Structures are given as C-alpha cells and as structure tokens.
Structure 1
Amino acid sequence: MSPKDLPKVELHLHLEGAAPPSFIRGLAAEKKMDISGIFDEKGGYAFKDFWHFLKVYEAATSVLQTPDDYRRLTLAVLEESAASGVIYTEIFISPDFCGGRDLPAWRDHLAAIQDAAAEAERGLGIVMRGIVTPIRHFGPDKAREAAICAAETAGEFIVGLGLGGDEKICKPKDFAWSFDCAREAGLRLTCHAGEWDGPQSVREAVRDLGVERIGHGVRAIEDLALVDELAERGIVLEVCPGSNLALGLYPGWRKHPISELHRRGVKVTVSTDDPPFFHTTMVREYDRLAEAFDWDEGVFEELARTAAEAAFCDAATKANILKRLEKKDA
C-alpha cells in the first residue's frame, strides 16, 4: 500500500490556515474586499518569513466574518483532508476569529462548524474534533476570554485547548490561568512550542502548563536531556515537517529532526499545519518522509496509531479510529 492509500490521523491543523486560496479569493469577491496583496502571481499565498506569514494569515482570515462563512470553510477543509486519506482530524479553532471571543457569537460560529463537520462525516467518513486555540501574540488577557469560550463549550466536539501564534511573545506561564480553566472543564491540553523558540520553550510548556502534547516541538532535538524526558514521559509531538521547511527552519527534508526524535523514542506524529500556505498535503508529507528517511508502510502505520492514541476525543471515537486504522480500508 502506497503512502497515498494509507488511512491517516492529523492532530495539528489550523482551520483558517487550511483555507484554500481560491476559497478565500472567492469569499473576498463576494464581500467586495480587496486582499489581492496577500497572493502571488500563481494565486497562492505570498509571504517572506514566519512573522509576515502571520500577517498574511490574519488578512486572509479577515474575509471570514459569519457563521456560514465558517461552515463553508470547514467543508472545504475537510474535503481536502479526506482526499489525502485523513480519517480523523483535530483542528485548531480560535474564538479570536470566530466571533471576537464573545461567547454567544462563538456559540453561533461553533454550531455552524459542527454542522459542517457532521455533514463531512456522513458524506466523506472523516471525523473532526476541535481544539480551541488562543493566539499567543494577542496576549494573556484575550487568551483568558478564549479559554472561557472553550470551557463553556467543552464536550464531545470541543475536546482541547491549545496555544498558537508567535512563540517569542510572552512565556507559557503567562497563560497558566487559561490552561487551568480548560483543565477544570475537562479539556485536554497542547501548546505550540519548540518551533521558533528553543528547547526551553518545550520544557516550559510541559512544566508550567501541564500539556500532554506539543505543537511542533522539533527544537527539543537541541537538548538531548529534554528529548529523553519527552520520551520517558510520553509527551507527543505534533510534527509538521513541510511547514518547518517552508518557513526556513531546516534546509531540507533529510535535515529535519523528526527521524532522530523517533529513533530516540519520542512519540512523533505527522501533520500539515497550514497546508495551502506551505504547498503541502498529508500525502505529500508522507511521500517526502518516505523518500528522505526510507520509511516504509510499517513506520507510517505506527505514526498513525500514535496519533490516534494521542487524540483528545472520547474513548468510543478513539476505539473506532483505531479499528479503521487496523482494517486499512477507511
């Protein structure tokens, strides 16, 4: 079975960041908004570095203004994921963008997203769950408001809290209140770290926020004592190799640390992060990893099981996903 045909589990995908450029352009045209400056001559997203990427991301998101916009977006994103063989996905959703952290508006947006997810599950067989994600560079106070939105809607669909955005802004401990709030509501916890900030950011996220997964986390490789700790504690890394390469974190696939982290016993998974921005898909990630590290079907099956076991969904959903991975007939 080729990587293309393997059933996949994705744990690190941003809803707005997965919006196809054509979808955003079409929505902008409907609303008579001019955001042409964020696209290149081929119609893709154009950015120079990570910080410019954040600005382009937020400009693209500006056209998403209503619950129905998010319903349509969710369907478009899940169609793309299903086409790559993804059978289960956890998607980062930000109340900052979905209703401006106003709880009633958030509930309206979330209902539309859930409606689209249910439609995609019926029609495409892909299962989606949501992880509420405050934006780090918006600051701890706004993160508290987002965390309250998460706590008030925790349940079968909203299963976790994360933290995205610019790692250089604030420390993980500055967001401890938000993570405590989410934990008390029964939500599971992850946090972006170890991408643009060094291995200490991974250690701080685990120590100060009590997360069980780390978004990216690849720079842990610079501190082998930390690598051993991650392996020993079973902390799962949501690794997005294509994203790291597109943003210049590593010079090539063979230089990416995912294989060494895996060899050293760290639980690694594969995701696409913001796939149209980085010209990737889950199939492309699998293909490039197979080429770079000679990974065979067995390795990818192991990574998919690791991702399923690390998923934040309820036990019954997890058992079903694991069964579909075993059958390979998803």
Structure 2
Amino acid sequence: MDRLSAPRDVVLLPKAHLHLHFTGSMRPATLLELADKHGVRLPEALSSGEPPSLRATDERGWFRFQRLYDTARSVLRDESDIRRLVRETAEDERRDGSRWLEIQVDPTSYAPRLGGLIPALELILDAVREASAATGVGMRVVVAANRMKSPMDARTLARLAVRYTDRGVVGFGLSNDERRGLARDFDRAFEIARKGGLLAAPHGGELSGPESVRDCLDDLGAGRIGHGVRSAEDARLLERLAARGVTCEVCPSSNVSLGVYERAEDVPLRTLFEAGVPMALGADDPLLFGSRLAAQYDLVRTVHGFSDAELAELARQSVRGSLAPESVRKELLADIDGWLAGPAGAAALEGDADHHGLVHQLHAEGGAHAVADLAGQRQ
C-alpha cells in the first residue's frame, strides 16, 4: 500500500481502556525480573517468552489459566513491585494511545504480603495517582470481587471500595469463572457499591452465554459489562443493551486465546456494533494473551474490516463508557475527531518516535505476539 494512502495509525488514536486486570497488565520482562528478585520458580509457560497456550472452555482449562495467573501474581511482594507494575502499565498505555485507564484489581489477592486489605488498596491507589501524574494517562480503579469466594467477602470489598471513592475507586466488579455460582448471590455487595456511587461492572457473557449478561443486568444492576460479547447470541438482549447504552468491554484477543471463539474472525464484533451496542475494546490480560490495547484496534481493522471512521467511533464509545470527568471526555472526543479529520497516512508519518509503528513491531516489554493475534492464529 502506498504510504500516502495508508490507514491512520491506531496507536495515535486517542482511546480509553476499560478492561485491564492488575497482574495481567505486567510486562513479561518484569515478571521474569521480579521472579528472580524473590526466588519464585516460574513454570515454562510463564518463563519461555511465549504467550502460554490456553483454552478455558472447560473446567480444567480454566483452572490452568487461573493457576498461571496466581503464579504471576505471586511475584508482586512489596511496595516497589506494585509501584513498578503500575508505572510500567501507565507507560504502556501511553504508548498505545490510551489516555484513560480504569484498571481492575481484587486487593484481597495482594493483602497478605502488603500488610492487610486496607494497606494494599491504599498502596495501589497511591501508585495509580503517582503513575498518572508521571505519564499524563488518567487512571482510576475498579475494585473487583472474586466469584469463587464468599458473597460475604464481596460485601466487605464493596464497603471498602465505597470508602475510597474520593481516592480513585470508580467501580465495583465481579471476576473469575462466570460459570461458577450465581450472580444474584452477590446482589447485596453490588447494592452497597451502587448506593455508594460506584459503577456496577461485573463480568458476563464470556464463558457463559447471554443469560449471564441478563443476570448481571437484572440481579446486579450492571451499568457496564465485562466482556458481554456473547450477547450477540440473543437479538432481544442486544436491543436491551443498545437501548440502555450499556457498554460491553470486549476483548477479542482474549476471546480467541481462551477458546471462546476459534478464530479472530469469529468474534461477533460486527454484530454488536451494527446492533448499536456500545463497545470498549480491551486487552484483558496482556501478560498471558500477548497483545495490548492498540493491537485490538488493529485486529478489528485487519480482521473485521472496520474503517477509520468506525475505529474512531469505537474509541468514542470507550470514552463515553468510561468514568472520566466530563472535561477529560470532551478533550478526548475532540482529539478523536482530530485524528479522523487528518489525512490517511499522515498521522502515522507525523507521530512521535515512541508511537510510530508500535502496533506492528510491538514494544519488547509486552505483547510480543500480537501479530499472530491479528492473523487469528493464537491458541
């Protein structure tokens, strides 16, 4: 393709990132360095430099995925580790053109090594504040309960999250295998969160079908859905999501890596988009899936044929679905319009050296295999 007619650089497209997990945002090189620092022995699936082969559509596969995630999390043992992860995540977001990040974390997972639940959350929030100031990327936190744990634990987390709304907590989530347990078991936790001013953003419609999305809406008062991609299997549910403007945090590379869909082209992004369901593309866990945010936009362009105008609309939807202050939203939306108004190819030619060509060469610190992702070749 001639340089002057090249599509606009998706790295330079301003965007918000609404579905990124804390440990899963770690750079592979950082995982290796922290494992060496703390004497943690990593399995080959995490130490080989290649994204692990994953398939979580059965219980055994999900257990393996969760075990790898837990092992990666075990290298985060002190304050400097937490601050490093958050700072590097913010730097990677900036390189990918992300200007606003809402990162999801279950602080109970880090509390035993960080002095308890409250110190862990306060450290994470302070690290987020520090990294945001250093990089210019707006950052907030979604506190997430674990579906595999007690609903009483979720209520404790919800109360804690509400206490820190003035320190950067903006939402309350529910993660882990949605096939286990019922959404309504966590209804009281989500009621606490919503009454405290937090957005309800549980996972649904990934490993389970559209019924799990309906449960999130009906039982948890969800204002945003983590994943939600399998809503495409129910036309009436699509109409409901579109009418209510409920944003689905869709993570196409993750969907293929975990076996939700066999190929990248099977992810029903067009179905959701054309039904008017707002979407925010997300990277989920780049450490395990091998690609970050800009690669998701490149995948949507390359595999699903989205035009620059449609990519700009996806970026707008990510901003509208965020909890960024109104002034930040207006600035981002204006800059998205500016990206689209520029001549095709010019954005890539005029971008600064840190951004130019990033999606195709990828930065060494994370996501070394997004190119394979784009071709739909990931397991």
TM range (shorter): over 0.9
Q: How has the CA–CA distance of structure 1 residues 117 and 190 changed in structure 2, closer, same or farther, with 3 Å as cutoff? A: same
Q: How has the CA–CA distance of structure 1 residues 176 and 125 changed in structure 2, closer, same or farther, with 3 Å as cutoff? A: same
- Counterpart CA distance in 1 for 2:256 and 2:326 is 35
Deviations 1:199-237 (A, max 9, x none): 100001001111111111111111111111111121110
Could you say which residue in structure 1 is the equivalent of 2:75? 63
Instruction: Tell me, yes or no, if structure 1 residue 28 matches structure 2 residue 39.
Output: no
Query: Conserved in 2, the CA contact under 8 Å of 1:235 and 1:266?
Result: yes
Amino acid across the alignment from 1:55 = R
- 5+ long unaligned stretches in structure 1: none
Q: How has the CA–CA distance of structure 1 residues 291 and 264 changed in structure 2, closer, same or farther, with 3 Å as cutoff? A: same
Query: Conserved in 2, the CA contact under 8 Å of 1:21 and 1:45?
Result: no
Query: Which structure has the larger Rg?
Result: 2
RMSD (Å), alpha carbons: 2.2
Query: Conserved in 1, the CA contact under 8 Å of 2:14 and 2:332?
Result: no
- Counterpart CA distance in 2 for 1:89 and 1:268 is 15
Query: Conserved in 2, the CA contact under 8 Å of 1:144 and 1:177?
Result: yes
Q: Secondary structure at the match of 2:148?
A: helix
Could you say which residue in structure 1 is the equivalent of 2:100? 88
Q: Secondary structure at the match of 1:12?
A: strand
Q: 1:7 aligns with which of 14, 24, 41?
A: 14
- Counterpart CA distance in 2 for 1:218 and 1:194 is 6
TM-score (norm 1): 0.92
Deviations 1:97-136 (A, max 9, x none): 231599x834433343334333433332211110001111
1:47: Cα distance to partner? 4.3
Could you say which residue in structure 2 is the equivalent of 1:256? 267
Q: 1:19 aligns with which of 10, 26, 37?
A: 26
- Counterpart CA distance in 2 for 1:108 and 1:189 is 24
- Counterpart CA distance in 2 for 1:248 and 1:161 is 26
Q: 2:314 aligns with which of 269, 293, 303?
A: 303
Query: Conserved in 1, the CA contact under 8 Å of 2:54 and 2:257?
Result: no
Corresponding residue pairs, total: 329
Q: How has the CA–CA distance of structure 1 residues 7 and 313 changed in structure 2, closer, same or farther, with 3 Å as cutoff? A: closer
Query: Conserved in 1, the CA contact under 8 Å of 2:11 and 2:95?
Result: no
Deviations 1:245-273 (A, max 9, x none): 11111122221111111111111121110
Could you say which residue in structure 2 is the equivalent of 1:137? 148
- Counterpart CA distance in 2 for 1:314 and 1:325 is 17
- 5+ long unaligned stretches in structure 2: 1-7, 340-346, 352-379
1:180: Cα distance to partner? 0.8
Query: Conserved in 2, the CA contact under 8 Å of 1:172 and 1:208?
Result: yes
Q: Secondary structure at the match of 1:318?
A: helix
Query: Conserved in 2, the CA contact under 8 Å of 1:21 and 1:44?
Result: no
Q: Give runs of aligned pairs for residues 105-254 of structure 1, distance below 5 A.
A: 105-155=116-166, 157-254=168-265
Instruction: Tell me, yes or no, if structure 1 residue 277 matches structure 2 residue 284.
Output: no
Amino acid across the alignment from 1:321 = L
Amino acid across the alignment from 1:89 = L
- Counterpart CA distance in 1 for 2:198 and 2:328 is 16
| Relative contact order, higher structure (CA 8 A, sep 6+) | 2
Q: How has the CA–CA distance of structure 1 residues 295 and 46 changed in structure 2, closer, same or farther, with 3 Å as cutoff? A: closer
Could you say which residue in structure 1 is the equivalent of 2:302? 291
1:276: Cα distance to partner? 2.2
1:277: Cα distance to partner? 0.9
- Counterpart CA distance in 1 for 2:165 and 2:256 is 34
Q: How has the CA–CA distance of structure 1 residues 200 and 26 changed in structure 2, closer, same or farther, with 3 Å as cutoff? A: same
Q: Secondary structure at the match of 1:92?
A: strand
1:286: Cα distance to partner? 1.2
Most deviating of 309-318 and 262-271: 309-318
Amino acid across the alignment from 1:25 = L
- Counterpart CA distance in 1 for 2:246 and 2:80 is 36
- Counterpart CA distance in 2 for 1:309 and 1:156 is 22
Query: Conserved in 2, the CA contact under 8 Å of 1:189 and 1:213?
Result: yes
Amino acid across the alignment from 1:21 = P
Query: Conserved in 2, the CA contact under 8 Å of 1:101 and 1:149?
Result: no
- Counterpart CA distance in 1 for 2:173 and 2:51 is 27
Q: How has the CA–CA distance of structure 1 residues 322 and 113 changed in structure 2, closer, same or farther, with 3 Å as cutoff? A: farther
Deviations 1:265-312 (A, max 9, x none): 111121110012111122211111101222122111111111111112
